[in-house]
Structure 1
Amino acid sequence: MRFCSILPDSSPSFSDVLSSRKNLTTFKNTLQSDYPDLLSRLNAQTSSSPITILAPSDNAFAKTTYYPVLGPAFNNHDLVAIQNILNYHILNGSHTSKDLITQFQFFPTWLNNATFSNVTHGQRVGGVMQGSTDMIWTSGESARSTVSEADIPFAGGVIHVIETMVTPPTSFPATAEIFSTASEPFEITSFLGATYFSKNNTIPALAAFLNETSDLTIFAPNNAALESVASALESLSDDPTAFTKLLDYHIVVGQGGPIYSTNLTNGTTLRTLAGETLSISIVANSRFVNSARILTPDLLISNGVVHVLDNVLSPDDTAAVPQPTRATQVPVLSTNTQFAISEAPFTTFMPWAVVTNAPPTMGSARTGTVTATATGAVATSTTKGGAGRAAGCADAVEAGYRRSRGLFDAASSHGWL
């Protein structure tokens, strides 16, 4: 990676930088032809309110066709989608190689579109210095973007040239499915399926809640963790209240925004949707949530972040502590006598689409419309039953779900905590 000297007093305009670098020709032409207002805004930035621009090289633009989210937008010349993607390459504040550290930090961007950013202050992108010479940025779908030239000064801040575009995060279901094409220890489709599980084939309120609520932190056990305690989960699933509480214990809402790994410091406690607390500890360079080890931190999703665990958490065992010398932590629920990761529970309940509306009350009589968004498309399905209830909306689902979990607060601005 090549570094440039930062000389604020003689910094050129943003357009001057684009024109002076042949490897930014596609970026320059795209802004000039399709997004002149954005280009003008970038040129108008000043050092008193600096920004950081992750400038895609010509090579980065050439590779977009091979990536989810990016490919459909550029292949279809979807100007709105591309605008959102470009906004995600613009960070608030100046973040040079000297400002980044050896663990990921997460910075807000100009991406505030509701599809990709249900996160307070704008969707985040993560930056890190690996050693003294390699700058890496991470984004949605676990994409990693390497910097080929860092610390290019311009009048409004600093520019880093990246060789792969950053990808706007997608929903929890879409992210879980794509991430689960990785190696088996990191698959989380079982936990995803559990959030859609229902014995009477109705849409659980939790499914819509996870897709619509802002600033979520989800601690998702991997498929192996759920399979190891499948018999205990099967028993719990016969009691919807107990099963929901178990799932809720893996979810944290708000508390200052999504909680990224840099905020998971030793001794941190977090109040979950179940009402019980989680304890964070750092032992032997590993982070633990109660007794569960975080295998993969910081999977960015459109409305928060997911951390992958090696163990299922239990609200009935909040005092569980880690055993750091073990490669895999001891389950807190009763275990199976036989184990096969290929038989991970609840995967048959994985959604075909992303549910964003569901009935606010989970009675047997229901009628209405369930709006669902699949990757790159929008689909609508209707669930009908006995006599009546008006079609629910996402706000009603969220309010109803919070009430059912004891999280309703009449004094708050929306009636929610």
Structure 2
Amino acid sequence: MKKTLTSLFAVALIGMSAASATAADIVDTAVGAGKFKTLAAALGAADLVDTLKGEGPFTVFAPTDEAFEKLPAGTVETLLKPENKGKLAGVLTYHVVAGKVMAAKVVDLKGAKTVNGQRVDIKVDGSTVMVDGANVVTTDIVCDNGVLHVIDSVILPADKTIPETADAAGSFKTLLAAAKAAGLAEVLGSEGPFTVFAPTDEAFAKLPDGTVASLLEPANKKKLVDILKYHVVAGRVYSEDAVAAKSAKTLQGSPVGIKVTDKGAMVNEAKLVATDVDASNGVIHIIDAVLLPPENAVDARRVIENTVAQGARLFNAGHHSACADLYHTTMTELMSANLGDSLNGHMSTVLTSANHTTCPTERAWTLRTGIDQMYGQIVANR
């Protein structure tokens, strides 16, 4: 199929000579084609001409004049007004991807991050390739500083903030109420960008009865803030990058684990039910459970330091059994402190191994090794 698509997309832009397609930059190529007058005017109004005449390379999904004519009456004229320069630049940079991405590679992608910061979706259906809702009609028009792919519609970036996007969806009423009560709604509506793992109303309903009402009380504001911040990551992190990273540090300070299991993609123990929902100031990933941050991570570090110091004295004095008992008691207590799935799983494995060890010396070393590994993970995640 790729060979067919590549052959299809190799068609030269009507009215362009091979020399003009390879001897000019992106802007001059578009102007010379005679089909991109509106695009050229928009680039001028947004002060992007010099940028797209620069070294690059750039990949531009270029709407024709006919594509701009499909927009509602008055849209182009409004965007060209000086007071809308920022919005116009946002729309135009949404059509630009850094690097030179040829058709053969485009058809292998599900999306591409634009210079705007948001990501366009790419869909291949037989011989049809779409970028967001626009059909790609001609590709691989090579320029000195990149490549043009012609599309038949103007594609528009998300223009609603994260709270506005969540509100429009209608399934995040509890999350929005919680953000407002925590004083975080304005933060999530600011420039950002942010990545939000957003629990649905059904996710909040899974919490024990009375939990949400309790969290919304003014006396519990700090706890609510910590919980909500545990769902937010700085920057715009799309799903494939999140999965590749395996974890992400949240605004709360503690990381969330990200993995792919036989149940699907997971954030901690919450399932990702929808991903990569763009907002003007970030991206939303929808999850089916509320994430609860680990408690007392800093205290856990201090507890471990004190335990290791005391345990070392006991072990060096020959009290190996007492040392092992101390380590075992400390790890058991930390198991109930909700330090997170990763640490809890590690402690469970270590305790099980220690319980099957009868030699006090070996038992002490097994537990000490496990505690040292815990300590390293806590320090690394601070």
SS at the partner of 2:113?
strand
User: Which residue is 1:92 aligned to?
Assistant: 98
Give CA-to-partner distance per residue, 1:201-249, whole Å, 9 cap, x none: xxx1x22332336342110012222244373211222322222222121
Match of 2:49, as an amino acid?
A: L
Give CA-to-partner distance per residue, 1:68-99, whole Å, 9 cap, x none: xx789449785413233223322321122233
Answer yes or no: is 1:294 the counterpart of 2:272: yes
On the 8 A contact 1:88/1:168 being kept in 2, the answer is yes
On the 8 A contact 2:95/2:114 being kept in 1, the answer is no
Match of 1:270, as an amino acid?
A: A
Instruction: Provide the C-alpha distance between the structure 2 equivalents of 1:224 and 1:248, rounded to a whole number of angstroms.
Output: 19
User: Which residue is 1:413 aligned to?
Assistant: none
Answer yes or no: is 1:168 the counterpart of 2:157: yes
Answer yes or no: is 1:125 the counterpart of 2:132: no
Assess, with a 3 A threshold, how the Cα gap between structure 1 residues 19 and 243 changes in structure 2: closer, same or farther: closer
Instruction: Provide the C-alpha distance between the structure 2 equivalents of 1:225 and 1:169, rounded to a whole number of angstroms.
Output: 25
Assess, with a 3 A threshold, how the Cα gap between structure 1 residues 133 and 66 changes in structure 2: closer, same or farther: farther
Assess, with a 3 A threshold, how the Cα gap between structure 1 residues 177 and 164 changes in structure 2: closer, same or farther: farther
Alignment of 1:12-411 (within 5 A): 12-13=23-24, 14-15=26-27, 17-19=29-31, 21=33, 24-31=36-43, 34=45, 38-39=48-49, 41-42=51-52, 44-46=53-55, 49-65=56-72, 73-74=78-79, 79-80=84-85, 81-100=87-106, 102=108, 104-109=110-115, 111=116, 123-128=117-122, 130=124, 133-138=127-132, 144-170=133-159, 171-178=161-168, 180=169, 187-197=171-181, 204=183, 206-212=184-190, 214-229=192-207, 231-238=210-217, 239-253=220-234, 257-265=235-243, 268-284=246-262, 286-315=264-293, 318-319=340-341
User: Which residue is 1:11 aligned to?
Assistant: 22
On the 8 A contact 2:139/2:150 being kept in 1, the answer is yes
On the 8 A contact 1:100/1:129 being kept in 2, the answer is no
| Structure possessing the higher relative contact order (Cα contacts under 8 Å, 6 or more residues apart) | 1
CA positional deviation for 1:196 = 0.8
Instruction: Provide the C-alpha distance between the structure 1 equivalents of 2:105 and 2:147, rounded to a whole number of angstroms.
Output: 12
Instruction: Provide the C-alpha distance between the structure 1 equivalents of 2:129 and 2:48, rounded to a whole number of angstroms.
Output: 26
Q: TM-score, normalised by structure 1?
A: 0.57
On the 8 A contact 1:134/1:146 being kept in 2, the answer is yes
Instruction: Provide the C-alpha distance between the structure 2 equivalents of 1:40 and 1:275, rounded to a whole number of angstroms.
Output: 41
User: Which residue is 1:334 aligned to?
Assistant: none
Assess, with a 3 A threshold, how the Cα gap between structure 1 residues 21 and 279 changes in structure 2: closer, same or farther: same
CA positional deviation for 1:281 = 1.4
CA positional deviation for 1:268 = 0.7
Give CA-to-partner distance per residue, 1:313-354, whole Å, 9 cap, x none: 22256329xxxxxxxxxxxxxxxxxxxxxxxxxxxxxxxxxx
On the 8 A contact 1:292/1:310 being kept in 2, the answer is yes
On the 8 A contact 2:114/2:120 being kept in 1, the answer is no
- RMSD of equivalent CA atoms: 3.7
Instruction: Provide the C-alpha distance between the structure 1 equivalents of 2:232 and 2:79, rounded to a whole number of angstroms.
Output: 35
SS at the partner of 1:315?
coil
CA positional deviation for 1:164 = 3.3
Give CA-to-partner distance per residue, 1:80-139, whole Å, 9 cap, x none: 132332233223211222334645454341x4xxxxxxxxxxx2323535367444445x
Instruction: Provide the C-alpha distance between the structure 2 equivalents of 1:290 and 1:8, rounded to a whole number of angstroms.
Output: 55
CA positional deviation for 1:297 = 0.9
Give CA-to-partner distance per residue, 1:360-416, whole Å, 9 cap, x none: xxxxxxxxxxxxxxxxxxxxxxxxxxxxxxxxxxxxxxxxxxxxxxxxxxxxxxxxx
CA positional deviation for 1:263 = 0.9
Assess, with a 3 A threshold, how the Cα gap between structure 1 residues 10 and 65 changes in structure 2: closer, same or farther: closer
Instruction: Provide the C-alpha distance between the structure 1 equivalents of 2:200 and 2:216, rounded to a whole number of angstroms.
Output: 18
Name structure 2 gaps, 5 residues minimum.
13-17, 295-337, 343-381
SS at the partner of 1:265?
helix
- More moved, 124-133 vs 79-88: 124-133
Match of 1:293, as an amino acid?
A: K
Instruction: Give the number of the structure whose alpha-carbon radius of gyration is greater.
Output: 2
Instruction: Provide the C-alpha distance between the structure 1 equivalents of 2:77 and 2:165, rounded to a whole number of angstroms.
Output: 16
Tell me which protein shows more helix as a share of its residues: 2
Give CA-to-partner distance per residue, 1:126-177, whole Å, 9 cap, x none: 3535367444445xxxxx4442322222222111222333323332122223
Match of 2:165, as an amino acid?
A: T
SS at the partner of 1:196?
helix
Identical-pair percentage:
24
On the 8 A contact 2:128/2:136 being kept in 1, the answer is yes
